Structure 1
Amino acid sequence: MCVARPTIEEKCKMFNRHKLENTLKHVVTKAKIDRRLVCGLLPAIAFLENTPEEVVLCVLPTTRPGDATTHIQAVLLQAFCYENYIPVIQVDSSEKLAYYCGTSTKIKDTTSHCNCAIITRDVSLPVTEIDVIPMSDHEQFLTDFYECSLEMYPRPVIQLPI
Structure 2
Amino acid sequence: MCISKLNEDKCKNINRKKLGRAVRGMLTRAKVERRLVCGLLPAIAYLEKSPEEVLFCVIPETRPGDAATHMQTVLLQAFCYENYIPVIQVDSSDKLSRFCGLADSKKGCNCAIIKRDISLPPTPEDDIPLSPTEQVLADFYECTLEEFPRPVIELPI
Per the normalisation by structure 1, the TM-score is 0.89
2:24 alignment counterpart: 25
1:145 alignment counterpart: 140
Counterpart CA distance in 2 for 1:130 and 1:138 is 18
Counterpart CA distance in 2 for 1:159 and 1:74 is 18
Runs of 4+ residues over 6 Å off in structure 1: none
Q: 3-state DSSP class of the match of 2:89? A: strand
1:128 alignment counterpart: 123
Which residues of 2 match residues 5-44 of structure 1 at below 5 A?
8-44=7-43
Tell me by how many angstroms 1:142 deviates: 0.3
Identity of aligned residues (%): 65
Contact preservation (8 Å) 1:103, 1:112: no
Residue 70 (str. 1) matches residue 69 (str. 2): yes
1:4 alignment counterpart: none
Structure (1 or 2) with the larger CA radius of gyration: 1
Q: 3-state DSSP class of the match of 1:12? A: helix
1:57 alignment counterpart: 56
Name which of 112, 115, 119 aligns with 1:117. Answer: 112
Relative contact order (alpha carbons < 8 A, sep ≥ 6): 1 or 2 greater? 2
Tell me by how many angstroms 1:130 deviates: 8.3
Contact preservation (8 Å) 1:56, 1:119: yes
Aligned length: 152
Q: Which runs of 5+ in 2 are unaligned?
A: 1-5
Tell me by how many angstroms 1:129 deviates: 4.2
Q: Partner letter of residue 117 of structure 1?
A: A
Counterpart CA distance in 1 for 2:33 and 2:44 is 20
Counterpart CA distance in 2 for 1:116 and 1:125 is 25
Q: 3-state DSSP class of the match of 1:96? A: helix
Counterpart CA distance in 2 for 1:87 and 1:69 is 22
Tell me by how many angstroms 1:131 deviates: 6.7
Q: Which runs of 5+ in 1 are unaligned?
A: 1-6
Contact preservation (8 Å) 2:97, 2:109: yes
Tell me by how many angstroms 1:132 deviates: 2.2
Q: 3-state DSSP class of the match of 2:57? A: strand
Tell me by how many angstroms 1:87 deviates: 0.4
Contact preservation (8 Å) 2:40, 2:111: yes
Tell me by how many angstroms 1:127 deviates: 1.5
Per the normalisation by structure 2, the TM-score is 0.92
Q: Partner letter of residue 47 of structure 2?
A: L
